[in-house]
Structure 1
């Protein structure tokens, strides 16, 4: 599945969701941030990968029984086994965290299969265990009940809404301590290039501000001297 180049993936791992949000805003894209999702661990690595999606609908009690998990084609179980290495499993749980989207065993299986991360706009059960797994994971809040009580897994790898953001299979997902953002697949390379450059400039600006320089003419770089100083800084720092 993965068409994300190593170069683009590695560049995106060095930039922030905030910087990407600005780059997308410049292109008229305003709702690409997945709302109200949070990292399970403050120490988890930056998450980058192509979206592989799972959609839930409201459960109907006479259909959603524990016996469903015996079916090997059950979309939740199948998504865990089919999500490609290097991809991010993104779950549309209708922003409803009253029942879990998944738990530590399923997320642990994703880690063992080489999946790059997992996101739900609902909740995870076993959240403390998931936080210790080392795989980037984002949810709204912890949730103990099984997904069967409220959610019916209905579709794998179709377009979804996750936390009010549109997610299409193959879109590039970036997650860090500030949250998760969705980069349309066709923009991934140019966004990676642009934000990589933006990050270098912002690091320069942060250093200048820490040394007492004011922001006028510096950020944004409306003074020619700022660009001259930045060029010198880049050369000195190998950026």
Structure 2
């Protein structure tokens, strides 16, 4: 299920910092995936539905190079990824075995996958960067995944960076890392986030003019009235 263009456009303009504030107001505190750092500086903010992959601890009879040819493998999972999705991989925070290398990332890029997010690491990092696939992870390690992990399945509920991720939840990722928006809250979060971003933009403009923070951030009744008047003259487009 793809995101509609309007939702994608709105969320592409909302920082993950703003999203965490909006989600906090809705009672969700644990939405930022720990360890999801951009592999390359300057990667763009991206929005997409989560396509989940799950690893468990390595077990010697299963985590073997032969498993790469199994019907239930990372290779098979990649062939199931729809264009525009964000692959979210539960690597259990393991940082001494790279879950994907340059060839797998090249195939993902060729299939139109928007990004790879994991609480683990990648390998062949120079080659991965060369594929152009945006990656958020904890860094790089030379050993293959089977040195520390066993791949078990895709499109199941997972935990990535301590956050529960279900297939088709929405992920927004930028320089601050990856944030999860539960599918059932998407419409409400999109609406509230656009308004929160606009409010914070107005507050920043006031700060640039020399305004003090008390009573401005958050706004008191007087400043809220000033903002409301400004907002009526500057409606959200789209």
Band the TM-score falls in, shorter-chain normalisation: over 0.9
TM-score (norm 2): 0.92
Q: Deviations over 1:105-141 (max 9, x none)?
A: 2112111111121111110112233334443211012
Equivalent residues in 2 for 1:69-108, closer than 5 Å: 69-71=68-70, 73-108=71-106
For the residues of structure 2 that align with 1:181 and 1:238, how far apart are their CA atoms?
A: 23
- 3-state SS, counterpart of residue 196 of structure 2: helix
Separation (CA, whole Å) in 1 of partners of 2:61 and 2:164: 31
Superposed displacement of residue 92, structure 1 = 0.6
Change (3 A) 1:218 1:157: same
Aligned pair in 2 of structure 1 residues 131, 235: CA closer, same or farther (>3 Å)? farther
* Structure 1 residue runs without a partner (length 5+): none
Equivalent-residue separation in structure 2 for 1:89 and 1:138 (angstroms): 10
Report the Cα distance in structure 2 between the residues aligned to 1:63 and 1:89, rounded to whole angstroms.
23
In structure 1, what is the equivalent of residue 66 of structure 2? Answer: 67
Give me the whole-angstrom Cα distance separating, in 2, the residues matched to 1:107 and 1:80. 9
Candidates 97, 108, 115, aligned match of 1:110: 108
Q: Distance in 1 between matches of 2:127 and 2:66?
A: 25
Counterpart in the other structure of 1:17: 16
Q: How far off its partner does 1:82 sit?
A: 0.7
4+ runs deviating over 4 angstroms: 236-239
Look up the match of 1:200: 198
On the 8 A contact 1:204/1:230 being kept in 2, the answer is: no
SS class of match (1:60): coil
Give the total of aligned pairs: 237
Question: 1:39 matched to which residue of 2?
Answer: 38
The answer as to whether partners of 2:64 and 2:146 remain within 8 angstroms in 1 is yes
Q: Does 1:27 align with 2:26?
A: yes
1:165 to partner: Cα distance: 0.3
Q: How far apart are the structure 1 equivalents of 2:206 and 2:226?
A: 13
Match of 1:6 in 2: 5
Q: 1:214 to 1:48 in 2, by over 3 A?
A: same
Deviations 1:160-206 (A, max 9, x none): 01111000111101111011111100111211111111111111111
Task: Calculate the TM-score normalised by the size of structure 1.
Answer: 0.92
